[in-house]
Each structure stands twice: as C-alpha cells, then as structure tokens.
Amino acid sequence: MTEKLDNKRESASDIEKLKLLMPYWINHNNDHIRDNEKWLKKIVNLGLKEVGHELREAIEILKKGNRHIELANKKLEQSGVPKPGAISETEKSQKSSKEKNQTEKSLNFHLKQIGVIRTPYIDNAPYQPVEEDEGDFRIVVDSQYVDSLYKLDGFRYIYVIYYIHRVKRELSEIVSPPWTDGVKVGVFASRSPARPNPIGISIVRVKGITNNEILTSGMDVFDG
C-alpha cells in the first residue's frame, strides 16, 4: 500500500515537472529558431547557397519538432491533471487571507540609477541577448562610480540588471505569450516586461572598459 502511494506521488511530481518544462522547451527552441533564421539571412547574402540550403532544412526540422512539443503540451493541459501547485477552494481562501495580511505589511524598496545602457535598438529588440549582434552595445556608468569598475574587465561575462522604462501597458497577471500558441500562463511564467517590478536581466560578454564605459556583446535592451 505504501509503495503504491509513493509511486502515485512520484508520477504526480513528474507530471508537475512536465507542465513547467514544456513551455520552457518551446520558448527556448523558438529563441534558437529566430537566431538561426537571422544567420540564414546573413549566409544567403554571402552567397553561400549550399550552406543556406542545409541551414534552411535544419530550421524546418526544428520548427516541426517544436510544433509537436506544442501539441504535446496542449494535450497535457487538456488531460485533466491538476496544474502544479493546485489547491482546494478552502486552502485557496485561507492562503488569500494570509497573503493579503502579508501584502499590507509589504515594503517598498528604492533603487538608485547608476548609468545608462546604449544599444542600436530603438523600436524593436530581441527576446534574449544575441552575442554576435552587430552594433554598439555599452553601459555608460555614472562617472562617480568609475573606480568601481576597476578589475571588472578580468571577468568574461557579467550580469546586467536594468529598469524596463518603456513599458506602457498595464500589468496583467495572466498573459498569452507568442510561444504558447494562445495558451494562457501567469506573468511570472512568461517573458512579459509588464510585471509588478519591471526589472530585466541580461548576461553579456565584456569586450572592454574605457573610462566609465563597459563595452559588451549584444543586449536585449532598448537604447536609453
């Protein structure tokens, strides 16, 4: 009896993991497809027809594979298996009351701007950093912090945390990202910039530091 119960719990745990992993796989694959399509254009412009043909075939295979993952994810959602973290109405009510009390005690934190990010992106930006992106990517740090950059060029990669200042739309807790094929998810399960704290993060390669400017690889950030 105990063994059966353990097996049931293990199966439920694996299903919960699948419900979390599948959207990530789909999103991750779409990012790779976009990068490959970008390189395909460059290859075609270089006149490498045979290389372009093979890459185009590979992209189609990736798209087909991703469509199957999307269908599998949709069928998993329709299978009637409770979503990860599903709770009863009573538990939900108790949790809501507790969270309300916690929210009333929440604090506001203030961050100080220490610089400006400069990129070629004025109207459109990629979903994630593309290291080979051409153009001027740099972080202009306020001159008062120039000494804080000492020895930073000894690191190959750095985390860049920034305020997403161009978000105009209102916060929505439930969204339908392009990669979900219409399936709704919570905003924290998406890459939507319209979130309670509009803060972004990118991992970029340090190309060099000149005075108070950090030269980096491509960033998925709007200029300014």
The per-residue pLDDT for range 43-60, each reduced to its tens digit, is 889 899 898 899 899 899
Q: Residue 205: which pLDDT band, with cuts at 50, 70 and 90? A: confident
Q: Which of 91, 103, 61, 83 is nearest to 12 (CA)?
A: 83
Q: Does any domain span residue 198?
A: yes
Using only C-alpha atoms, the chain has a radius of gyration, in whole angstroms, of 22
Among residues 195, 149, 146, which one has the least CA distance to residue 174? Answer: 195
As a whole number, the mean pLDDT across the chain is 77
Pick from 20, 55, 77: which residue ends a domain? 77
Query: Per residue in 62-97, is it b (16+ CB within 10 Å) or e — as a string?
Result: beeebeeebeebeeebeeeeeeeeeeeeeeeeeeee
In a domain, 47, yes or no: yes
Q: Judge whether 91 lies within some domain.
A: no
Give the global pTM: 0.46
In a domain, 143, yes or no: yes
With beta carbons less than 8 A apart as the criterion, state whether 180 and 26 touch: yes
Number of domains into which the chain is organized: 2
Q: What percent of the chain has pLDDT over 90?
A: 4
Residue span of the structural domain in which 45 resides:
2-77
